[in-house]
Chain A
Amino acid sequence: MKRIQFAVALLAAYTGLIHAQVVTAPVGFVSVTVQPQSDVALGAPLNRAEEFQGVIQSISGNTLTVAGTPGWTANQFVYASGTQPKTYYARIDSGAKEGLIATISSNGTGSVTVTLPSGEDLTNISTNAALVSPATTGDSISIAPYWTPASLVTGVVAGTQLLVYPTNIPGINLAAVTYVFNGTNWLQGATNVNDVAFQFGQGLTLRNNSTSVQTISITGSVPMTGHRLLIKTLAATTRQDVRFFYSSPVPETIGNVGLGFAPGDQLLFTDNAATGRNKAATTLTWNGSNWLQGATVVTTTFQLQPGVSYIYRKNQTATPTNFVWSDLQSYLQ
């Protein structure tokens, strides 16, 4: 049985809109119970703590300059093996591109240069220097580290595995690479992968190989910005599996999250409460108006659960196509 508990442990005021450099979003935790010798489809319903929140002063190319004087040191947000284990992203927290995530490739004392996901751009973002109507100030921006194996899954026994699915290979039923916890480190083969960054919204499988129940607790910041994820087809006339989770620490009804782009799209899920590995999945199908589980309409009854990941099986498109899934969580409305 898998149980999820959510608690907002610290209800600090969210004041990340004006120039603040140290801002605290509400902190919570979600605990996930994994049965012996079983898999759970795992998602991170909380973010790692933001390390900067402020306002965008200007944008030039892929470089965003923040308002004020944050006092960063050059490349403090850039991963450096052995000395700086975090891989950082910048997130747009307001405006038309709310929820957009981009990896920081370098930074100066008051600016970050980002690598955008294919299909995303920095247009229509309001800055103090160039307002986009109706904004009266620049859009908000946050900087935070991605989850990694070592930061996301802690307190597990040796032999526990993380199955990580490719995000750049066309097709369905994609084979995963396996990370194994040896009691100290996460390994892929002989390679230490403690610091490998998981993409934002990326779903994983956690495999408990022991004969005992394991419970992991994920502690982090409650998402206070809209959920935004690119769902892509990577090859022409080829269905595409995308392992994802919905960025929310509370359940959300599937009919309320804006999911479903074209008839034939499917959502696959497994029962995290059931025992076993490689469990059979159940399929929901989008018919253009409703989500169906077999012959039953589940649009208003099926809920995306926090801490759980799903497979979005995007129906084929004539050419590779990006679909922006942008939604404001119910607790933020």
Chain B
Amino acid sequence: MKSKLLFLALAAFAQGSAFAGATIQFAEPFFGGIPSNLANASGAVTNGMKWGIVVDTSGNGFANSGSSYDFYAGGVNSAGFFSANGGTSDDYFIPGTVTVDASSLGLQEGDLSTVPGNGSIVDDLIFNPAYSSVTGLGIGDSFALIWFSSSTSAAGDKYGFFANPSFTMPSEGNPTSYGTPFAGTDPVRTASNTFQNPTLAPEPSRVMFLALGGLGLLMRRRRA
């Protein structure tokens, strides 16, 4: 009886506990597509650029459509929530590795004719904490590929952003491929978005308050 109770308790505990980790594969060598031709801010296809993914954890779309995040103090090697318009967003950044030259690695795409070259992604993105460790993160969340022109995320730095409907977070434990959008020769994708500095660009409402304040001071001076 005692062992039965112990067994039931363990089973119940097992059901309530967290699971961990997922592997996202953008590259499908000799099977599907391989992302390539990722370019820096100048449009030059570049190796050595840091990349990662941004996950829309609330399902409300990427902040500003992913086009103008605030600078990210965490840096390109640290996971965390991005900010936008001066406030924290629900978009969660997970770092990957760097772009490389796939042709030097002897890799081809599944059509056995496309040979991706510079600016390619060949590493998996391995996310090992349980999804539940990140607020809102879950299976089916949309994500986008992001790459950093100078491998930095300060205000004014440039980044590329590529979303696709097929990019949704997989179930944990399953290595999942996302190479289909990259089948065939990829267009050059330029890192054309800019990290913003919200302190240098006050919101319109703030500007209005400042203007009203200044006007008030001016009128008071005239009366005096």
| Residues of chain A whose beta carbon lies under 8 Å from any beta carbon of chain B | 37, 157-159, 161, 173, 180, 182-184, 207, 209-211, 239, 262-264, 268, 274-283, 285, 287-290, 292, 294-295, 315-316
Contacts and interface: CB of A to CB of B under 8 A. Distances in A.
Interface of B: 3-4, 6-7, 10-11, 13-14, 17-23, 25, 28-31, 97, 100, 105-108, 110, 122-124, 126-128, 130, 172-176
- For the residues of A in contact with B, the DSSP-based class is loop
Contact of A294 (B3, B18, B19, B97): B97
A184 B98 CA distance: 51
Contact of B23 (A157, A182, A275, A283): A283
A17 to B, nearest CB: 43
B23 A316 contact: no
Contact of A287 (B107, B172, B173, B175): B107
A276 B130 contact: yes
A239 B31 CA distance: 9
B126 A159 contact: no
Most B CB atoms within 10 A — which of A283, A289, A316? A283
Given A158-B6, A262-B30, A282 B105 contact: no
Contact of A279 (B11, B108, B124, B173): B173
B62 to A, nearest CB: 24
A210 B11 CA distance: 9
Nearest to B102: A295
Nearest to A174: B174
Contacts of A183: 3-4, 6-7
Nearest to A175: B174
Contacts of B14: 37, 159, 161, 207, 209
A182 B7 contact: yes
B124 A158 contact: no
Contact of A283 (B13, B19, B175): B175
A280 B13 CA distance: 22
Nearest to B20: A276
6 contacts: A182-B3, A184-B3, A263-B29, A264-B28, A276-B18, A283-B23
A276 B173 CA distance: 10
Given A183-B6, A209-B10, A209-B11, A277 B30 contact: no
A280 B126 CA distance: 6
Which of A210, A264, A289, A315 lies at the interface centre, i.e. has the most chain B CB atoms within 10 A of its CB?
A: A264
Given A37-B14, A158-B3, A294-B123, 15 more contacts: A159-B11, A173-B174, A183-B7, A184-B3, A209-B13, A264-B29, A268-B23, A274-B128, A276-B20, A277-B173, A287-B30, A287-B106, A288-B106, A292-B105, A292-B122
A175 B132 CA distance: 22
Contacts of A280: 20-23, 126-128, 172-173, 175
